[in-house]
Amino acid sequence: MKLKLDLKDRKILYQLDVNARQSASEISKKVGLSKQVAAYRISKLLERGLIQQFYSVFDTAKLGFTTTKIFLRLQNTDPSTQEELVEYLKNHQQVQFLISTDGMFDIVFNILAKNVMELYSFVRQLENKYGNYIAEKEKIIMVFSSFFFRDYLINNKATPIRKPMFFGSENNPLAVDKNDEKILSLLGIDARVPIVEIAKKTGLSADSVGGRIKKLEKLQIIQNYIMLPDFSLLDQTSYKVMFSLRNLTEEKERMFLEYARMQPNIWFHSKSLGKWDLELNMDVDNADQFRKIMMEIKSKFSEIIKEYNTLQVSKVHKFNFYPLKVL
């Protein structure tokens, strides 16, 4: 059921998508409200369920991880079995992202692994436990992925300064210690968690926590802090589109990324190795808007699109860039 939002609410959502760690005072100045009213509206957006979560984007390649996306088409399942599988994946400390979808596949999730054996071990355990329910499984390695602000929230066309946030840069691990890992773990669960709370849970001083966060941001391990909206309550439909490409040059690849960056409904772009070479995520008002965007993409990039597959996102179960248990 769609909830009515005025422009001020949409501007607040947008600011939380730009940087979820902004204070109510900072947001109030940008949306033209008092600090108290801005804080009240943020609280109501959370209470109404329009914001599912605040999460942090980390470049996990800088922590030594490779991300693999796995697509599952299920068989011989009932709602209870499917719920059990979802809970298993949701609680697994290597699973970073988990959604249910309608289309060719039923479940899509990301796995963090430091090497091939870690990935192999995860897949074997999954198949040993739920193999009878898996009709088809596809894996792709996520090479370089970019997030963009959800400009559609304020009916704004994307601008040239639309900042990309990414993960999957060159796998060249930077030095982080156990305390850094604890901070990343807490920010992964809640991007707006106060520094004093992080300090309490890690045993560090607030000043130390603040300094470490700034260091992790400077190293670009922490890319940004974002909110996850409930697209259904915004009367939006969320789609994931995977493309198989051909005759791909660096210039054409750059043009596709630039198109995604400038399309206000597209908020995620990912280069991959595997069955699909490129993935886009977008939120749209309706099927007609989705069709229009796809027609435009097919027209602009007909030379390189070999085929594509579309999934409609039905539910987001988990979004945590650093799900490892370190506390």
We report the CATH number of the domain holding residue 34 as 1.10.10.10
Which tokens sit at 144?
Answer: 């370089």
| 232 confidence band (pLDDT: 50, 70, 90) | confident
Single pTM value for the model: 0.93
Contacts of 41 (CB under 8 A, 6+ apart): 8, 9, 12, 33
> Of all residues in the chain, what percent carry a pLDDT higher than 90?
88
Residues 145 and 93 both lie in one domain = yes
DSSP of 141-178: EEEEEEE---GGGGT----TT---EEE-----PPP--H
Confidence of residue 1 (pLDDT cuts 50, 70, 90): low
pLDDT tens digits, 131-187: 999 999 999 999 999 999 999 999 876 554 555 567 776 667 788 999 999 999 999
Q: For residues 141 and 254, state if they share a domain.
A: yes
SS3 265: coil
CATH number where 133 lies: 3.30.70.100
Average pLDDT over residues 10-22: 95
Burial class of residue 120 (count of CB atoms within 10 Å of its CB; 0-12, 13-18, 19+): exposed
Please tell me the predicted confidence (pLDDT) of residue 325.
Answer: 85
135 lies in the same domain as 251: yes
Residue 288 in any domain: the answer is yes
Looking at the domain assignment, is residue 255 inside a domain?
Answer: yes
User: Residue 195: helix, strand or coil by DSSP?
Assistant: helix
Same domain? For 13 and 123 the reply is no
Whether residue 116 lies inside any domain: the answer is: yes
Residue with tokens 């329910």: 133
Tell me what pLDDT residue 169 has. 65
Record the tokens describing residue 52, joined without a space. Answer: 């599912």
Same domain, 42 and 118: no
Residue 213 falls within a domain, yes or no?
A: no
Reported as type and span, the H/E element at residue 242 is strand 237-245
Total domains, the chain: 2
Let me know whether 42 and 100 are in one domain. Answer: no
In a domain, 124, yes or no: yes
Clarify whether residues 128 and 247 are in a common domain.
Answer: yes
Residue 33 falls within a domain, yes or no?
yes
- If you average pLDDT over residues 254-273, what whole number do you get? 94
Task: Find out whether 58 and 223 touch, Cβ atoms under 8 Å.
Answer: yes
Q: Clarify whether residues 32 and 84 are in a common domain.
A: no
pLDDT in tens, 33-84: 999 999 999 999 999 999 999 999 999 999 999 999 999 999 999 999 999 9
Contact 53, 97 (CB under 8 A): no
8 A C-beta contact, residue 260 and residue 280: yes
CA dihedral 208, 211, 216, 220 (to 10 degrees): 170
- Residue 198 identity: I
Q: Is residue 69 domain-shared with residue 122, that is, in the same domain? A: yes
Contact 107, 47 (CB under 8 A): no
Q: Which of 103-107, 155-159, 213-217, 272-276 has the lowest mean pLDDT?
A: 155-159
67 within some domain: yes
Shared domain for 32 and 68, answered yes or no, is no
User: 254 in the Ramachandran plot: left (φ > 0), alpha (ψ -120 to 50) or beta?
Assistant: alpha
One domain, residues 38 and 138 = no
User: What's the confidence (pLDDT) of residue 160?
Assistant: 47
- Mean pLDDT for 263-275 is 94
The verdict on residue 241 lying in a domain is yes
Q: How open is the CA angle 276-282-288, to the nearest 5 degrees?
A: 110
Identify whether residues 236 and 307 lie together within a single domain. Answer: yes
Task: Please give the residue range of the domain that contains residue 21.
Answer: 7-48
